[in-house]
Structure 1
Amino acid sequence: MYFHGYENGGALLSVGFGLTAFAMIFWFRDVILEGTTFLGNHTKQVQRGLNIGFALFIISEVMAFFSVFWGFFHASLSPDVFVGSSWPPSGIDALDPFAIPLLNTLLLLSSGAFITYSHHALINGNRSGAITGAFLTIVLAVLFTGLQYYEYLEAGFTFADSVYGTVFFASTGLHGIHVIIGTIFITVGFIRLVLYHLTSDHHLGFEAAILYWHFVDVVWLFLFVAVYWWGGA
């Protein structure tokens, strides 16, 4: 209704997002309460089930990005006459891969190093190191998102500019959403670190956040090489 311009479509969309967000917040709050060492409900068997579930979730995410990359390579490896039989299509000025995209690559790889440091610090009982590493990861993630937003504003094409614009914004936008979700994920872990919820041998949620963040890192490397560098040449 919102995209088609129906009256009150935006209000209905906002209410839907709000209800979904509240359901997730209260649900995850209960999971956090169950998972802390204060209650101890997350036994080894429960943690194993959660690990398997999260691994399957990551596999489903891989499939989602696989479909996006499939669309990109299908369009770019054999561009038809409707886009000028060239890639990028005629009239499209691709973004410089060695400007903001390269900077974002450095930011994201650095954030992956800091969150790994945070994880190892937690395992070794270095609480201050764990907190510092997680905080720096969040800062770099926010910088990445800000630069991505600026890049979108400065791009000389839109989502509607041929198949190039569609696959570019679909792939980088999907990844950007994952960066925002991962940032929230790590922020929750950071807050739990500060509140003494996590210990050296009981931090399943934090480990899941770290695995998710490394997945986001790897996907970005494929995006940078394929979409920005090779696809924009």
Structure 2
Amino acid sequence: MFSNFTFSIIDMSDIKTRFDFKYLSTAHQFHLVDPSPWPLVASIGALCLTSGLVLYMQKMIGGFSLFLNGFCLVLLVMYVWWRDIVREATYEEHHTVTVQRGLRLGMILFIVSEIMFFFAFFGVFFTQVMIYTLVLASLFTYFQGLEYVTAPFDITDGIYGSCFYMATGFHGFHVFVGTIALLISFIRIIMGQQTTTHHFGFESAIWYWHFVDVVWLFLFINIYWWGNLEPNNLSATVLL
């Protein structure tokens, strides 16, 4: 009855059966960062530092003490945070080739953000900040159109497609209108049609542009960030 069956013995020693936490955390090329209090503590330290500096400049009581406490807190966070990074890279070996590639990209983005930071000062110094605003607005409109062309869905693909194109498209239209308003104001400034006492057109364009900025923050958070969370992370976010 059992003569037609072939039995084989599997050597369990040849099968990797390690299920300890360290193995599971390094079984892939990515680093799943553990929850850390340092970003929140660093934010509190930066808030105390900047607020204390402003109060000190205004010669208000307690300003220097708040600034000093915030500065010390930022230094402390820098030490403990770098200590954790060194431990993760050297002893826990989390910084694989893939992770290092991401770190390089993050450093490049950090340097680019620093360049933009100083460009803001240079733009104010040379009174040409509106040129950069118009260029960046044009780039935003271009990439928005590129996103529509390459998107794998359209406005008729269900509720999400309709909401996505209506929200981002309506915002993109506002960006276009704001760009035109700023361009007209820029031309009028060059022609000498707006002065320090007669510049409501320019001021209204700035109000409109900041309104578009605030709308974009909500769109980015709800569509591009919250809308792309994994199901498990999404459930945790809703519960919080």
Name the TM-score class by shorter chain. Answer: 0.3 to 0.5
| TM-score normalised by the chain length of structure 2 | 0.44
Select the structure with the greater relative contact order (CA < 8 A; seq sep ≥ 6). Answer: 1
Q: Which has the larger radius of gyration?
A: 2
| TM-score normalised by the chain length of structure 1 | 0.45
